[in-house]
Structure 1
């Protein structure tokens, strides 16, 4: 009798253990919406589930006991809790923090107002410092190469100047902001971006498509807003130091301190040094530009009544950079014995914002920058001075369903150099002074799950007169998982040739300006669709866009008509940039996260009935990031990569032996990071795993950089000779990829909160 009773008791006990469950809600820190599709995983049992549209989850049939529970969500930091007691119907709620590329982070760039990324009617891409850490770089310029649709373009094989392409549009169409201020533009778009220390970056917000309604000229192709850290939330101390096997060194240091109870300051310092000339492709020229760069950034924030904002920041940047023949030194600067391109850059910036002490939300934003350039390209000097003063008053007003924003910007630009850009016909030097006052209004109307944004801006340019840019954006939240956005806008850009095109300064080509250049104008349409997909215990974030931009008065350099000239004039026709892009975020119950994206583009110009493709404009881009965490060991692995091409290249003639089209090429990297409990991280890995480098003959006639042995006929055409059978002249503008091959890197980070 005892045996059946014991058997029945045992069965009841096992049944009771099997009926335990774990349930709860997953929230996102600072967000009203729950984490739909978050994964909850019990490691010991290798079982899990995903949350529903309300963020709820439930796992049943769990034997009672203590377990390790991991909660993860796309683009957030995972939570792992050990010794979670599950006995009976156990309820446990979790809150996740934002991480790299978070779907629900607050953004400001699209509308100049703080708004959830999902609630913004304007699609905004976000990069945080944690995303940059997946592949450590010496500047944000390099870090942007792992963002879908973004390509940092090197414009010179010798001095490594560059700009940033968005959706295939050249660098001058991209506006770069620091804390919403137009600090990096014109001259400094080419030279200043690489000097922004990573230590000061909180996040980078990217808007693809015209934003001229809010930000004015240059925001035609899109804008990149580098948002610096808030001193009150910055770590007490942070250090990030790394080096590569090429013997380049990068140091990022930051410290936070207070001055009384109402003022907090953040100081960031960056130092980059590379003094190890390498010529692996044996063309006689440095593969990587030698650099000595220093940048210091200081930001203050102040505590005021009623949470009124006030902050001010300053940055100083200095760079000494050169590239050229391997035996070049500064004694050859400007001479014709040994070729070198040497650039001294000195830059100062002051920016800030102050919310006025009145009942209405009125904010004054201001910035001042001074950029001095002393460059020599072979025997051609380029001396330039640019100063920009900017101020605008913003009035943020809520009236019922209307969120209104009024702005009155004013921008003054002083520019002077030693080129024909600022030289009159009589030879007198005349600095260019441009005044650009304006006014804009934006109305964001909320209608339940729909939002409509209407905007318009009027500017008066002292050189080009009246400019009007309207804008429309519409967002529909179809359900808990699907969002559609439509953006239509007009863009305009005032062109400064010599501040934007390095090829005009190399001395290898004559610059021809055929007419008085008119401002470029464009219309852009962008349709964006975002969807969250839950499949079993995994989650996929889907973000797709279709874009179309139509240009009139477009100005692009003509390299083809005469190989010894660069010819500029307004396009007698039109230009189009169109394509599709797709971003995917994968989240699994185990600690693997995947971010992948691709963009296909068709860019062309049509003039006099002839359609052709601009040079250095890629057809496809792709990016990916695979991250896996070994929680118990405190080790993470990151595999990142990008893919570009093909693009038309600026060959010198039909006889040029170099390919007229680039291959599809890829840069891939792998990194291991070990985290310690004291705030220390040690990381290392390999960059450019495939060891991809462009052809060794990328620099035409690198053996004769001053064209001393080139023969010309009476029309200025190159004559074929035994020494020059392909009729080439020296030209370093044939460049589409970095010359740095495979290399190892090692570094460490230390943070005190």
Structure 2
């Protein structure tokens, strides 16, 4: 799969490049129309190195050099808007008139911003938009957060957003899932560069497999998003935006983490960005190697954290075929091996318990973007694909027949067109139209368990929306029509969003959206548990019906400055109704003695609550962010998961209270201190029989998972710096105290922080 996909991407890229070179515009003489200038800090006057300067409505842009200066060459003539942006600063704009044969000097003074409330996001409406004026609340996790929380992969950082929780679901293989507003991971749509190539299989371990070195930012939209992004966006949308080359740079870093007891986790990454002198071409290369030994917390000889070895490599590249067209290509390869259980020096079938997985993942995509010369229209054509080959072993009692093999193929292709009207009815507006095709072919085979599962899903969708826009008012109406091959009828998912600002520092928002999930296998359905010397397998009810949702939300957003202190307070209420909600029920054992759990429809459920988020900071000095969520997740009728336990209305693993804290302070120049942590309230967790005599439910204790990080920057030369860091994670050692013991353990009975108290040191050379 890897060589075919890489070859196809390379061939298509070369073909489009050749076509672009033949275009008349590519043969035109240089215009000798240039813009030069510098970008400085408005308060200190210090030049800002590597700030981004771009011309809106075109593909043209560059980063300032180490001295804070830039030089845009041979530009097309006309009237344009020039923007300057840098991390930690507000974006500034200036209108310029570009004339052939003339050079303009345009300088920028950027005001510091500790809160990043005016970032440009794409997930709210599938087009670039200022977050502050978006009709939908979009949370952003950026490189600043990755650094402050000492995160090496996305699973370590996504809990630091309101309404989000990352939890560990298996002590043997370490599966994780991201919950949004209390709903399980398969209720959320994970996107890579706005493309839904994360299939059910890749979502099982996906967030832990993606290193932050390849990620520019992660945008999160809470609540139903199917009107834009298709099936499985009931809980929300997680859009992972990969890094794009801006300037020539190179970095090498290592973080070594030592778990109490001596188990080490090594993370080493090498990344480089390279652009041509005329900024017409660029490529960002990334690679990471991770090595972690297994960890046994309670000394029973069975792992509580699995062995993990992985290698990740890939690139993102662009080619500006003209000032108004651009071709972008992305490719990534991930190889990951993980194993939990015991007898690690033996083949898995010689262990009392073994869960072993060997993933080989290859994916990539191509997109072509066109901008009209008047800057009002944009067309994007894209295709993305991902292939997974997984060799696995899920077994107990030294079962030699527990080996399995899985293949998974995902393809996405589509087009999107947007046009800005100067005035439509009563306000300026932007119309967005698009069509998208999704294919997934899954073959999951465990012949020793009599399982040979094949699933092919195909869906075609058409989406549209119109957003009326002004500084005080945004009103969006849209919808998506999907036809899924596992559903008899097409599904229409409407969406309505409203933002109103009575004064500049207050934003009021309200929204409604609907969504659906097709009756297909999802991530946990492709995972096999070892319980009580037996295997637990999930199967689908042959009469499984689609699940539908209706979501409403309302929020108030305050942004004010008090002297140099900038503040932002967001309070949001949300409520989601689920019809024919999917549940899991233990229905007995098969002829081989395997425990069978069946995916069935329940009558319905509701999830509702309130989240609050407070940010405050002084640019360049400190930034603090607090988030808290109160919610209730309940089935309409009591649901039974085991004959040994009374039916329960409360959803499992869904605490009523949870929150987070991040604080970053510059102690002195080049020395910073970060404090970060999450709080998880009491929640109901299933405990399967094995170590205990009968199936049971446990109301877990509340816990904090806190961390500290100290970082010092050494400026070796004007362009070369060395970052040194050290710290501790899970400061209070809140790791679960009542883990099961022995070969009959319930590996899914885990609920605390993913790691015990751990210490880390890091070093990064950056050029």
Q: 1:299 to 1:638 in 2, by over 3 A?
A: same
* Contact persistence 2:682–2:701 (CA under 8 A): yes
Q: Is 1:540 aligned to 2:558, yes or no?
A: no
* Contact persistence 1:184–1:193 (CA under 8 A): no
Alpha-carbon distance between aligned partners in 1 of 2:276 and 2:264, rounded to the nearest angstrom: 39
Alignment of 1:227-306 (within 5 A): 227-231=241-245, 233=246, 236-245=249-258, 246-258=263-275, 261=278, 262-275=280-293, 277-306=294-323
- The residue that corresponds to 1:164 in the other structure is 178
- The residue that corresponds to 2:21 in the other structure is none
* Contact persistence 2:257–2:760 (CA under 8 A): yes
- The residue that corresponds to 2:706 in the other structure is 668
Which of 601, 605, 617 is residue 575 of structure 1 equivalent to? 605
Q: Which runs of 5+ in 2 are unaligned?
A: 1-41, 55-85, 91-107, 640-646
Q: Is 1:584 aligned to 2:624, yes or no?
A: no
Q: 1:258 to 1:620 in 2, by over 3 A?
A: same
* Contact persistence 2:538–2:599 (CA under 8 A): no
Q: Secondary structure at the match of 1:546?
A: strand
Alignment of 1:104-123 (within 5 A): 104-123=118-137
Q: State the TM-score, normalized to the length of structure 2.
A: 0.78
Q: 1:394 to 1:647 in 2, by over 3 A?
A: same
Alignment of 1:288-327 (within 5 A): 288-325=305-342, 327=343
Q: Secondary structure at the match of 1:547?
A: strand
Q: 1:608 to 1:268 in 2, by over 3 A?
A: closer
Q: Is 1:389 aligned to 2:403, yes or no?
A: no
Deviation, structure 1 residue 156: 0.6
Alpha-carbon distance between aligned partners in 2 of 1:433 and 1:616, rounded to the nearest angstrom: 30
Q: Deviations over 1:332-356 (max 9, x none)?
A: 3235x43211100010001131025
* Contact persistence 1:195–1:294 (CA under 8 A): no
Q: 1:510 to 1:227 in 2, by over 3 A?
A: closer
- The residue that corresponds to 1:476 in the other structure is 500
Deviation, structure 1 residue 23: 10
Q: 1:305 to 1:346 in 2, by over 3 A?
A: same
Q: Is 1:461 aligned to 2:494, yes or no?
A: no
Q: Is 1:150 aligned to 2:174, yes or no?
A: no
Q: Secondary structure at the match of 1:557?
A: strand
Larger Rg over CA atoms: 1
Deviation, structure 1 residue 113: 0.6
Deviation, structure 1 residue 657: 9.7
Q: Secondary structure at the match of 1:464?
A: coil
Q: Deviations over 1:31-84 (max 9, x none)?
A: 9xxxxxxxxxxxxxxxxxxxxxxxxxxxxxxxxxxxxxxxxxx99369xxxxxx
* Contact persistence 1:271–1:293 (CA under 8 A): yes
Q: Tell which deviates more after alignment, 452-461 or 611-620.
A: 611-620
Deviation, structure 1 residue 98: 5.9
Number of aligned residues: 640
Q: 1:613 to 1:565 in 2, by over 3 A?
A: farther
Alignment of 1:489-504 (within 5 A): 489-497=513-521, 499-501=523-525, 504=528
- The residue that corresponds to 2:22 in the other structure is none
Alpha-carbon distance between aligned partners in 2 of 1:497 and 1:419, rounded to the nearest angstrom: 16
Alpha-carbon distance between aligned partners in 1 of 2:393 and 2:583, rounded to the nearest angstrom: 24
Q: Secondary structure at the match of 1:517?
A: coil
* Contact persistence 1:519–1:553 (CA under 8 A): yes
Alignment of 1:493-642 (within 5 A): 493-497=517-521, 499-501=523-525, 504-506=528-530, 507-509=534-536, 511=538, 513-535=540-562, 538-558=565-585, 565=595, 567-588=597-618, 591-607=621-637, 612-632=649-669, 634-642=670-678
Alignment of 1:49-60 (within 5 A): none
Q: Secondary structure at the match of 1:508?
A: strand
Which of 453, 467, 474 is residue 444 of structure 1 equivalent to? 467
Alpha-carbon distance between aligned partners in 1 of 2:761 and 2:319, rounded to the nearest angstrom: 38
Q: State the TM-score, normalized to the length of structure 1.
A: 0.79
- The residue that corresponds to 2:30 in the other structure is none
* Contact persistence 1:104–1:118 (CA under 8 A): yes
* Contact persistence 1:204–1:225 (CA under 8 A): yes
Alpha-carbon distance between aligned partners in 2 of 1:448 and 1:144, rounded to the nearest angstrom: 30
Q: Secondary structure at the match of 2:383?
A: strand
Q: Which runs of 5+ in 1 are unaligned?
A: 1-21, 32-73, 79-92, 706-729
Q: 1:694 to 1:597 in 2, by over 3 A?
A: same
Q: Secondary structure at the match of 1:285?
A: coil
Q: Secondary structure at the match of 1:76?
A: coil
Alignment of 1:14-413 (within 5 A): 76=88, 95-96=110-111, 102-231=116-245, 233=246, 236-245=249-258, 246-258=263-275, 261=278, 262-275=280-293, 277-325=294-342, 327-329=343-345, 331-335=346-350, 337-356=351-370, 361-378=378-395, 379=399, 380-399=402-421, 400=423, 401-413=428-440
Alignment of 1:418-433 (within 5 A): 418=445, 431-433=454-456
* Contact persistence 1:287–1:739 (CA under 8 A): no
The root-mean-square deviation of aligned C-alpha atoms, in Å, is 3.3
- The residue that corresponds to 1:693 in the other structure is 735
Alpha-carbon distance between aligned partners in 2 of 1:187 and 1:652, rounded to the nearest angstrom: 24
Q: 1:572 to 1:191 in 2, by over 3 A?
A: closer
Q: Deviations over 1:468-523 (max 9, x none)?
A: 11100001012111001111100111243364346644453354544421121100
Alpha-carbon distance between aligned partners in 1 of 2:574 and 2:380, rounded to the nearest angstrom: 33
Deviation, structure 1 residue 263: 1.7
Q: Secondary structure at the match of 1:251?
A: strand
Q: Deviations over 1:398-436 (max 9, x none)?
A: 22222000001011111111269xx9xxx8957322221
Q: Secondary structure at the match of 2:208?
A: helix
Q: Secondary structure at the match of 2:585?
A: coil
Alpha-carbon distance between aligned partners in 2 of 1:234 and 1:196, rounded to the nearest angstrom: 23
